Amino acid sequence: MTALGSQMEELLASWDDATAPIDARVREDPLMIASASEIVASSRVKRLAGPSTVLCRPWEHADFLSRVSSFSIASWFAKPDVISAFECARHGWRNSGPDQLHCNCCKQFLCFKIDDKLSEAGALKVAKKFAEQLVAGHTQLCPWQGNPSPEAFTTLPIATKRQVYEGFMDRLEELVARMREDDEFHDQIRAIKVVDAVLATILNEAGGTEDSAASLDTATFALKLSVRIPQLKDTPISSEALVSAAFLIVCGWQFDEKDVEMLWCGSCNRRWQPFSVKASKENDEKEIEPPAKRLKTDTARAVDLLSQHRHFCPWVAGRKSTGVDDYGEIDPKLWEFVKLPGWKQYAQCMSFLGNPEDRAIVAVASSDCQETRVCNPVVALESIRAVLDL
């Protein structure tokens, strides 16, 4: 009877709390209607919330990226698109081992191992069966069942070439302003050397040609960039730093807020360090090789800005979703553009550097252009009055 009585008291207390007037509840817990900044600053709320890996927050992009980062080629290799890392992460699953998924909410495990002897069609058929388990594999009371994260988390925003160009210039101006204020940051970006193959690929795409002889060179590219940035008229920066900053943006990288020496991708949550000079200085005393020679070798190390992304990242993999087919039917040329990998979208938008007045989304044939008609405003007003019987 004592246990039953205590259970009844707890139940009644919960009922009273749920049905109590809002004023009384606010007096007991002022954070109920507090601002977001006050809630974040409260250690009490942080303790109640617990670790984000346990909560089901499909709308939280940071949680989605955390789940994505648990997947790797070593443990989730060559999976069809229907059970890709993005699809699994959207439905609340983490990669806990080779071919294995785990839900931190309902504690369920799934094993998606596909026999290597199956044909491509057979593997896809098995993968579709596995895809059904991304929803059904959760327990009935698990909040992830039928409640996935938005598909938009797995793709880049739909934007025209002009919008991509404007976003590129905004980010480049931010980096330029930061380099003008911080000489060390300027030297870090200047020290980045992109491998020649990636350099040529991006410049060819920016020039709209596959002929390396007819493509842009870095000097011309730097000149076009500097003309478009007003801040450089007062305090110019080195062309090497300007080009390196542009390539970082084109390839989808931004600097980590917690560590300025780390680059971060907001789509695949990949973090890596392109700078090796600092590490070399720390290891100078342990190396037999002279410090000057060691520093020169590390500084000249070239990096591949594209291969550092995870293989399923939209910056290198492109858009495979069919979620915007209706939009593509309305404007097929725009749809062809947004299906490109992110780096190609940004490289192609460099065409506006040479002709900033051009407003076209993509190249339009002359036969598609319509003749502009000059309309007399007086005649137009009379037409409107006639329609409205005025």
Residues 88 and 224 in one domain: no
CA dist., res. 268 & res. 156, Å (int): 11
Residues 220 and 235 in one domain: yes
pLDDT digits (tens, 9 = 90+) for 87-146: 999 999 999 999 999 999 999 999 988 888 888 888 889 999 999 999 999 999 899 988
| The total number of structural domains that make up the chain | 2
Cβ atoms within 10 Å, residue 82: 14
Whether residue 30 lies inside any domain: the answer is no
pLDDT at 377: 65
pLDDT digits (tens, 9 = 90+) for 177-193: 999 899 999 998 999 99
Which residues pair with residue 263 across a beta bridge?
A: 255, 272
Mean pLDDT of 269-287: 61
Structural domain for 227, as ranges: 155-276+299-318+331-389
Whether residue 182 lies inside any domain: the answer is yes
**Predicted confidence band at 386 (pLDDT cuts at 50, 70, 90)?**
low
Residues 229 and 362 in one domain: yes
Q: Are 168 and 344 in contact (CB under 8 A)?
A: no
Whether residue 214 lies inside any domain: the answer is yes
| Whether pTM exceeds 0.85 | no
Mean pLDDT of 295-306: 66
Mean pLDDT, rounded, of the chain = 76
CA dist., res. 286 & res. 240, Å (int): 31
Q: Most confidently modeled of 193-202, 318-327, 332-341? A: 193-202
pLDDT at 370: 41
Residues 266 and 118 in one domain: no
Cβ atoms within 10 Å, residue 249: 19
Whether residue 66 lies inside any domain: the answer is yes
Q: How many CA atoms lie within 13 A of 13 on its CB side?
A: 6
Residues 340 and 209 in one domain: yes
pLDDT at 302: 86
Task: Supply 102's token pair.
Answer: 């785990």
Query: Can you spell out the DSSP letters for 286-348?
Result: T-SS-HHHHHHHHHT-EE-TTTTS-TT-HHHH-----TTHHHHHH-HHHHHHHTS-HHHHHHH
CA dist., res. 323 & res. 360, Å (int): 24
pLDDT at 22: 42
More confident residue, 63 or 356: 63
pLDDT value at 43 more than 50: no
Report the share of the chain in percent with pLDDT over 90: 33
CA dist., res. 343 & res. 248, Å (int): 10
Residues 266 and 197 in one domain: yes
CA dist., res. 219 & res. 242, Å (int): 11
**Predicted confidence band at 54 (pLDDT cuts at 50, 70, 90)?**
low
Whether residue 159 lies inside any domain: the answer is yes
* Cβ within 8 Å of residue 38, ≥6 positions away: 31
* Residue carrying the six token digits 């550092």: 308
Mean pLDDT of 29-55: 42
CA dist., res. 293 & res. 82, Å (int): 50
Q: How far is CA 75 from CA 71, 98, 382, in A?
A: 7, 4, 71
Tell which of 89, 124, 154 closes a domain: 154
Residues 312 and 188 in one domain: yes
3-state secondary structure of 41: helix
pLDDT at 11: 59
Rg of the chain (C-alpha set): 28
CA dist., res. 165 & res. 358, Å (int): 11
Residues 303 and 162 in one domain: yes
Tell me which of 3-7, 314-318, 349-353 is least confident.
Answer: 3-7
Q: Could you tell me the CATH number of the domain that includes residue 132?
A: 1.10.1170
Residues 128 and 188 in one domain: no
Q: Give 313: exposed, middle or buried? Use CB within 10 Å, 0-12, 13-18, 19+.
A: buried
CA dist., res. 28 & res. 239, Å (int): 60
Whether residue 216 lies inside any domain: the answer is yes
Mean pLDDT of 2-23: 60
Whether residue 17 lies inside any domain: the answer is no
Q: Are 280 and 259 in contact (CB under 8 A)?
A: no
Q: Are 218 and 196 in contact (CB under 8 A)?
A: no
CA dist., res. 221 & res. 213, Å (int): 15
Residues 78 and 191 in one domain: no
CA dist., res. 27 & res. 107, Å (int): 37
Tell which of 154, 173, 188 closes a domain: 154
pLDDT digits (tens, 9 = 90+) for 159-169: 899 999 999 99
Residues 223 and 127 in one domain: no
Tell which of 137, 154, 171 closes a domain: 154
CA angle, 189 then 193 then 195, to 5°: 145
Residues 143 and 198 in one domain: no
Whether residue 54 lies inside any domain: the answer is no
